[in-house]
Amino acid sequence: MRVHVMDLKAGDFLRSDTFSSRGLHVLPKGSRLQLEEISKLIQHGVDYVDIEDGRQEAVVPTSRSSVIQTVTASFDTSIEGFESVYLEALTKGSFSQSVVDDILQPTLHALDKHKDVVTLLLLLDREDNYTYNHSLQVGMLSYYIASWLGYSKQECYEIGRAGYLIDIGNCRISPAILKKPGKLTPAEFEEVKLHTVYGNEIIRNSMDDPFTALVALQHHEREDGSGYPGNLTKADIHPYAQIAAVADTYSAMTTHRVYQSKQELISVLRELNSLSFGKLNGRHVQAFVQHLMPNFINKKVLLNTGDIGVIIMNNPLDVFRPLVQCDGKFLDLSRERQITIVEIYME
């Protein structure tokens, strides 16, 4: 059966060897096609291929569905758990480390079974309880970034836990300021900045772990010295805090808040990438971008034209403007500059 490459589905088998228009052997006969192989065919300019008859509709594996259900349940538990930790810190000035570990360890361990970080972010796309959702997102993303950078399993957990707790100091900030829909006054912003100092103090009162407290203190520092509270430069910012800063920035920009609408995930990645030149650690940002972008392939998207499409592949020349299939047409957003992605859906 002869099929256009854009109509291929994961699980199809090639009936014959496939060559590019230049005669380059791309894939051998019998290859089982997944997204990686389909993308390879597209990159080599292959238009049509022969596949085995008897194609079946792709079915989402039960194991994947089960993993998502498990992760979602863990997310709910972690969000509820952080609320209790937050309230304990507010009333006592400290919290139980064992409670945090009991809440967080199952969630982070579940992440090892699920590599599609974009789907996880979409599962956490909730407009209620910003503080608790944000804390879990930062913990999750810090855990992933640490693993992509090659940290040990124990270090990844410690970094993820530090990310989970970076905003614990917000419990001492006036709710009226945290929930203010308009721009903060200079005095209000100065109060907000104190959440880093408060967080450092609360964590030091709760855990025998100076690194976690330091991450809470330093996660708003920037390499060029423009951050707070200490105006530190790159050499003085702890590596764990540099990781949490990347996770915190991305989560804050992609999450709905009373004074800010959430932004589309890929456009925020572009902004994050620009911050890697002087503000955020470039190596950490690049690890984040390189591992996150493949997760967008096969995701359904809403375009600013009102059309619904599917991301087919990432553009190697402009990674933030992918190739989108829409109504039987293929839109290269690196060329169609007037077309943008407005929203990304899980399915």
CA distance 241 to 251: 15
pLDDT, residue 254, reads 87
pLDDT, residue 185, reads 95
Averaged over 56-78, what is the pLDDT?
62
**Tens of pLDDT along 146-157?**
999 999 999 999
Averaged over 112-124, what is the pLDDT?
84
pTM (2 d.p.): 0.80
Residue that wins the pLDDT comparison between 5 and 329? 329
Residue 223 has pLDDT above 80, yes or no: yes
Sign of CA dihedral 176, 177, 179, 181: positive
CB 326 within 8 A of CB 341: no
CA distance 320 to 298: 15
pLDDT, residue 57, reads 47
Residue 214 has pLDDT above 90, yes or no: yes
Q: What residues pair up with 300 in beta bridges, in sequence order?
A: 310, 345
pLDDT, residue 67, reads 57
Averaged over 203-231, what is the pLDDT?
96
pLDDT, residue 2, reads 83
Integer distance in angstroms from the first to the last C-alpha of the chain?
27
pLDDT, residue 245, reads 98
**Tens of pLDDT along 271-305?**
999 999 999 999 999 999 999 999 999 899 999 99
Averaged over 143-147, what is the pLDDT?
96
Residue 206 has pLDDT above 50, yes or no: yes
pLDDT, residue 62, reads 44
**What b/e readout covers 201-233, taking b as 16+ CB neighbours within 10 angstroms?**
bbbbebbebebbbbbbbbbbbbbeeebbbeebe
